[in-house]
Amino acid sequence: MQFGEFAKASGASSWEELPAHVESFLEMHLKRQGREYSESQQKPAARNIRNPIWQLLRLILPNAQDCSSLHHGQRITKAQTAEPFAEAVPKFFEFLRGERGLREGTIVQYRHYLQRLEDYLRKINRPLLPDLPPRIVTAFITHSGETIEKRSVQSLCSILKVFFRYLYRVGLTQRDLSKVIESPRRYRLTNIPRSITWKEVEQMLDKVDRRSGIGRRDYAILMLLVRYGLRAREVAAMMLDDIDWKHDRLQVPGRKAGHSTVYPLATNVGEAILGYLKQGRPETTQRALFFAALAPYKPLSSVAVSLLAKRYLRKAGVVVPRPGSHTLRHTCVQRLVDSGFSLKTIGDYVGHRTPDATKIYTKINIERLRQVALGVGEEVL
């Protein structure tokens, strides 16, 4: 309501003009609260205001994009709400869908990183065509590396290579800039898995209020994540038909490795799902299992599932790098490794494509190292 009044007072007279006023409203709203935010506090405070506004705007304008990276008050044009470089390179996303056959989830990454490139070129007042100097591409990658992690920089470089190779192939550029892009090197097995102890899992589960419908839903999701090591998108895609109550089975179709997995339905997981179905799931004709708690009732997205896990981990005071649904997946795998199961069995259980994906969990025994650090257990050395 406050944003609507602010946008109207600022001159907005149509739906399409609303995105241009989000950041200026956000700045005004934070100042009006009269609080001094530290740098670490400002981002979550801004996010709590910005996110619900953008959820509403995307219902009104499905192609609208969050313009938080643009200057405050900058007007958003129709070209900005379309796919990146829609006018200069109109058929690139058709190429991704048709010729390369990419899934929409992957295309979202292309859209995200190319939007960053488009915003950067707009900021320095440099057109994409006919030819960008290599130093501009290098400067953009370096600039992006200041705000995103190394793995994301690798994804950015891979996407830029495909994009510039396409520009050269269709004759929009005279030089193949993909050849001047060098991705940062990452070495296998350099990071410690993001698993947590079972005691910390129990602390997290204790923070769920199972007296409410939302709590019952969240508890069922957390149990699926930690018991079966499912990915967020696999939980979000679950349907009522995936649960075979008669034979106590749980099916997970369309996994990342291209196969389906059928699990025995654990009693505590089944009870958690049943509790949500009886007292929590909204009345709807749709067959999805998990839904948003507020109208309009829509199936939960994979992002919502991951954020849900992140919220409860933080609520329980569990400190872990990049908390989210994958933290619980890592925990499930680590428990299986510690129990002595073979890598092939574990990989099949959690849907890994190759044994190499499971090997990362065998490289270090955190608990044993803690014992050594405390002076008990030097014999393991």
330 and 238 in one domain?
A: yes
pLDDT class of 72 with cuts at 50, 70, 90: very low
349 and 207 in one domain?
A: yes
70 in a structural domain = no
CB 194 within 8 A of CB 330: yes
Structural domain tally of the chain? 3
381 in a structural domain = no
Domain end point (choices 125, 153, 180): 180
Token couple for 165 = 């190779």
Query: What local confidence, expressed as pLDDT, does residue 258 receive?
Result: 64
356 and 245 in one domain?
A: yes
For the stretch 164-195, pLDDT in tens is: 999 999 999 998 999 989 887 765 555 556 78
303 and 252 in one domain?
A: yes
Sequence-ordered strand ranges (E) for the chain: 243-244, 249-252, 261-264
146 and 285 in one domain?
A: no
Respond yes or no on whether the N-terminal peptide bond of residue 52 is cis (omega within 30° of 0). no
CB 305 within 8 A of CB 221: yes
Q: The domain spanning residue 328 has which CATH number? A: 1.10.443.10
pLDDT class of 101 with cuts at 50, 70, 90: confident
pLDDT above 70 (res 347): yes
**What CA–CA distance (Å, rounded) separates 101 from 107?**
10
215 and 242 in one domain?
A: yes
Find the mean pLDDT for residues 88-102. Answer: 90
CB 229 within 8 A of CB 323: no
Q: The domain spanning residue 129 has which CATH number? A: 1.10.150.130
For the stretch 141-150, pLDDT in tens is: 998 888 777 7
pLDDT above 80 (res 311): yes
- Which residue blocks in 82-132 are alpha helix, DSSP H? 92-98, 104-123
Q: Alpha carbon of 8 to those of 12, 21, 59, 132: distances in Å?
A: 5, 10, 19, 40
Q: What predicted TM-score, i.e. pTM, was given to this entire model?
A: 0.57
**What CA–CA distance (Å, rounded) separates 21 from 88?**
27
The residue range of the domain holding 351 is: 198-372
Q: Please, what is the end-to-end C-alpha distance for the chain in angstroms?
A: 63
Find the mean pLDDT for residues 257-271. Answer: 86
Contacts from 46-54 at CB under 8 Å and sequence distance 24+?
A: 50/22, 50/26, 53/3, 53/22, 53/25, 54/22
Query: What local confidence, expressed as pLDDT, does residue 63 receive?
Result: 66
282 and 219 in one domain?
A: yes
**What CA–CA distance (Å, rounded) separates 249 from 270?**
9
**What H or E segment, with its residue span, contains residue 51?**
helix 39-60
CB 60 within 8 A of CB 18: yes
129 in a structural domain = yes
CB 222 within 8 A of CB 312: yes
349 and 319 in one domain?
A: yes
Domain end point (choices 131, 151, 180): 180
- Active site residue ranges: 231, 256, 326, 329, 352, 361
79 in a structural domain = no
117 and 44 in one domain?
A: no
8 and 150 in one domain?
A: no
158 in a structural domain = yes
48 in a structural domain = yes
166 in a structural domain = yes
Cα 201 to its chain centre, rounded Å, is 21
For residue 303, give the nearest of 231, 222, 357, 204 by alpha carbon.
231
More reliable by pLDDT, 144 or 32: 144
pLDDT above 60 (res 73): no
353 and 204 in one domain?
A: yes
Q: Alpha carbon of 281 to those of 226, 276, 305: distances in Å?
A: 21, 6, 15
3-state secondary structure of 190: coil
350 in a structural domain = yes
215 and 310 in one domain?
A: yes
